């Protein structure tokens, strides 16, 4: 039997205008978790200054995804028997993003693209607009977004705002298509303010309101009922969420090199009775003019949604077995190092590079009813490694 496996690929290249001209950034990401989910990410994009005040940017993504699968019966699962081998198609029980046919893992392909325009002025004003779209064989999404910020009070105070909209549609695989899927709409609005307290001190606040309507669920994760049957997940068709965040940034010098500590707290609540708290600490330290080390830790905890269950009766108005809606706590530790290549490198060679790694622990133990497909005496873990190269144009 094949070992459950999940991997994703994304190739990204981003170009930004800066004081030294335009820039190209490339990144590559590798992800792996306790469910034997593995992700390899190449990503592609382009941006260019088109005048003193305008920057246009374009980005494209290509993801190939496979994943850990749960052994399901054929009834209502969307599985089909292969006419030659007799093996069944098993939908992904973790992400819903892959299928396994005839004992082989078949990746799902996702294509995404974003185009954006940014306007800036010398007084500290910024306006942005973008349009993003993505498509895979059972899901597509279109997302316009706008935003802006203004500096005032001798540029010591900044007010920012933003809005984004997602117009999504899900078309589930196989038999699931008869009982799941549909349109989803997401509206998100945020307002923020930051204030310099001194040459090396800053505080900031941000509030975000999000309304989600339509088909919000996950069609491939049915709820196990008390009689060992399965009932399709059923979630409310509307969710309102509010998030409040505050941060404090304190700079300092270690010898001649600048460093800073960033402390951020975020509180979240939604109409499904889910509450969460996030505390993030980051330390950034210049080791030289061009080299920077960043260390971070993030502590997170949440309550469960009112209708999260592992053993329903099948007649509940709302029910879900999605781990995202259950209570849990997590801890993330990460490090990133960035620096520059020598000045005498040829013009076509990259100018900067960076590497990073984040590791997360979550106190959810293995449980097939929650599609956590690992041992019941261990907790969930995941790791993400990244590498990037940058070119000045």
CATH code: domain of residue 118: 2.40.160
Predicted pLDDT at 66: 62
At residue 89 the predicted structure's pLDDT band, cuts being 50, 70 and 90, is very low
pLDDT digits (tens, 9 = 90+) for 25-77: 888 888 888 887 777 778 877 888 888 889 999 888 877 666 554 443 333 33
> Residue 97 pLDDT more than 90?
no
Residue appearing with tokens 């992904």: 92
| Count of structural domains, the chain | 1
The alpha-helical segments, DSSP class H, found in 15-116 are: none
At residue 249 the predicted structure's pLDDT band, cuts being 50, 70 and 90, is very high
- Mean pLDDT value across residues 300-315: 85
Question: Is residue 29 assigned to a domain?
Answer: no
User: Which domain range does residue 369 map to?
Assistant: 50-58+112-392
Question: Is residue 43 assigned to a domain?
Answer: no
Question: Is residue 186 assigned to a domain?
Answer: yes
Question: Is residue 39 assigned to a domain?
Answer: no
* Burial environment of residue 321 by CB neighbours within 10 A (0 to 12, 13 to 18, 19 or more): buried
> Residue 2 pLDDT more than 60?
no
> Residue 20 pLDDT more than 50?
no
- Mean pLDDT value across residues 144-168: 93
Q: How many CB atoms lie within 10 A of CB 385?
A: 14
pTM for this entry: 0.84
> Residue 220 pLDDT more than 80?
no
Among 269, 249, 253, CA closest to 209: 269
- Mean pLDDT value across residues 332-359: 91
Question: Is residue 125 assigned to a domain?
Answer: yes
At residue 83 the predicted structure's pLDDT band, cuts being 50, 70 and 90, is very low
Mean pLDDT, the chain, as a whole number?
Answer: 82
SS3 177: helix
Task: Give the C-alpha separation, 159 to 152, whole Å.
Answer: 8
Question: Is residue 28 assigned to a domain?
Answer: no
pLDDT digits (tens, 9 = 90+) for 270-281: 999 999 999 999
Predicted pLDDT at 12: 32
Question: Is residue 104 assigned to a domain?
Answer: no
Question: Is residue 127 assigned to a domain?
Answer: yes
Given a contact cutoff of 8 angstroms between Cβ atoms, the answer to whether 133 and 113 are in contact is yes
């Amino acid at each position: 039997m094949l070992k459950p496996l999940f991997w994703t690929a994304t190739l990204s290249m981003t170009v930004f205008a800066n004081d030294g001209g335009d820039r190209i950034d490339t990144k590559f990401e590798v992800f792996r978790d306790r469910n034997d989910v593995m992700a390899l990410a190449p990503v592609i994009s382009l941006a260019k200054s088109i005048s003193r005040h305008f920057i246009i940017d374009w980005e494209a993504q290509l993801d190939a995804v496979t994943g850990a699968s749960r052994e399901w019966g054929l009834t209502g699962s969307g599985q089909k028997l292969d006419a030659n081998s007799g093996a069944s198609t098993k939908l992904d029980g973790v992400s819903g993003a892959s299928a396994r046919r005839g004992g082989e893992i078949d990746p799902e392909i996702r294509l995404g693209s974003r185009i954006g325009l940014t306007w800036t002025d010398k007084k500290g004003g910024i306006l942005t607009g973008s349009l993003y779209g993505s498509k895979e064989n059972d899901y597509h999404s279109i997302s316009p977004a706008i935003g802006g910020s203004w500096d005032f009070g001798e540029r010591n105070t900044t007010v920012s705002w933003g809005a984004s909209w997602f117009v999504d549609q899900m078309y589930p695989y196989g038999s699931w298509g008869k009982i799941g899927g549909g349109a989803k709409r997401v509206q998100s609005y945020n307002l923020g303010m930051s204030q310099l307290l001194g040459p090396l001190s800053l505080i900031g606040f941000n509030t975000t309101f999000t309304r989600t309507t339509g088909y919000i669920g996950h069609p491939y994760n049915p709820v196990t009922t008390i009689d060992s049957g399965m009932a399709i997940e059923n979630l409310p068709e509307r969710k309102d969420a509010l998030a409040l965040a505050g941060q404090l940034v304190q700079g300092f010098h270690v010898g001649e090199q600048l460093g800073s500590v960033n402390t951020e707290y975020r509180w979240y609540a939604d109409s499904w009775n889910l509450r969460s708290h996030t505390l993030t600490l980051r330390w950034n330290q210049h080791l030289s003019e061009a080299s920077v080390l960043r260390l971070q830790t993030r502590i997170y905890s949440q309550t469960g949604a009112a209708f999260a269950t592992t053993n329903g009766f099948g007649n509940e108005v709302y029910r879900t077995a999605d781990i995202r809606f259950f209570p849990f706590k997590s801890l993330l530790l990460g490090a990133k190092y960035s620096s520059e290549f020598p000045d005498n490198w040829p013009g076509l060679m990259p100018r900067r590079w960076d590497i990073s790694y984040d590791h997360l622990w979550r106190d959810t133990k293995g449980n097939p009813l929650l599609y956590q497909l690992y041992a019941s005496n261990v907790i969930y873990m995941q790791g993400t490694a990244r590498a990037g190269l940058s070119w000045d144009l």
